[in-house]
Amino acid sequence: MPHFPSPGDKASLEEGLLFTPKFDRDGLITVVAIGAEKGEVLMVAHMNEESLARTLETGEAWYWSRSRQSLWRKGETSGQLQHVVEMRTDCDQDALVIRVEVGGDGGCCHTGRHSCFYRVVKGDNGGPARLEKTH
Amino acid sequence: MPHFPSPGDKASLEEGLLFTPKFDRDGLITVVAIGAEKGEVLMVAHMNEESLARTLETGEAWYWSRSRQSLWRKGETSGQLQHVVEMRTDCDQDALVIRVEVGGDGGCCHTGRHSCFYRVVKGDNGGPARLEKTH
Domain limits, chain A? 22-108
Q: Enter the ipTM.
A: 0.96
Strand partners, B86: B99
Give the 3-state secondary structure of residue A13: helix
pLDDT tens for each residue of B62-84: 999 999 999 999 999 999 999 99
Work out the burial of residue A18: count CB atoms within 10 Å of its CB; fewer than 13 is exposed, 13-18 middle, 19 or more buried: middle
Q: For residue B126, name the pLDDT band (cuts at 50, 70, 90).
A: low
What share of chain B has pLDDT > 70, as a percent? 97
Chain A residues whose beta carbon lies within 8 Å of the beta carbon of residue B40: 39
Task: Point out the residue among B86, B109, B132 whose CB comes nearest to the CB of A91.
Answer: B109
DSSP structural state of residue B5: P
What gap in Å lies between CA A19 and CA A25, rounded to an integer?
A: 19
pLDDT at B119 over 90: yes
Mean pLDDT of B88-109: 96
Chain B residues whose beta carbon lies within 8 Å of the beta carbon of residue A18: 128, 130-131
* Predicted local distance difference test score (pLDDT) of residue B3: 87
pTM of the complete model: 0.96
Tens of pLDDT along chain A (135 residues) come to: 678 999 999 999 999 999 999 999 999 999 999 999 999 999 999 999 999 999 999 999 999 999 999 999 999 999 999 999 999 999 999 999 999 999 999 999 999 999 999 999 997 666 779 999 997
- Close Cβ partners of A60 (under 8 Å, ≥ 6 residues apart): A54, A73, A74, A81, A82, A83, A84
B44 contacts B116 by C-beta, under 8 angstroms: yes
Q: What is the least distance, in Å, from the CA of A88 to any CA of chain B? A: 4
Task: Tell which of A20, A29, A97 to mutate to test the B interface (max B CBs under 10 Å).
Answer: A97
The domain B22-108 having CATH identifier 3.10.20.810: the answer here is: yes
What gap in Å lies between CA B105 and CA B79, rounded to an integer?
A: 8
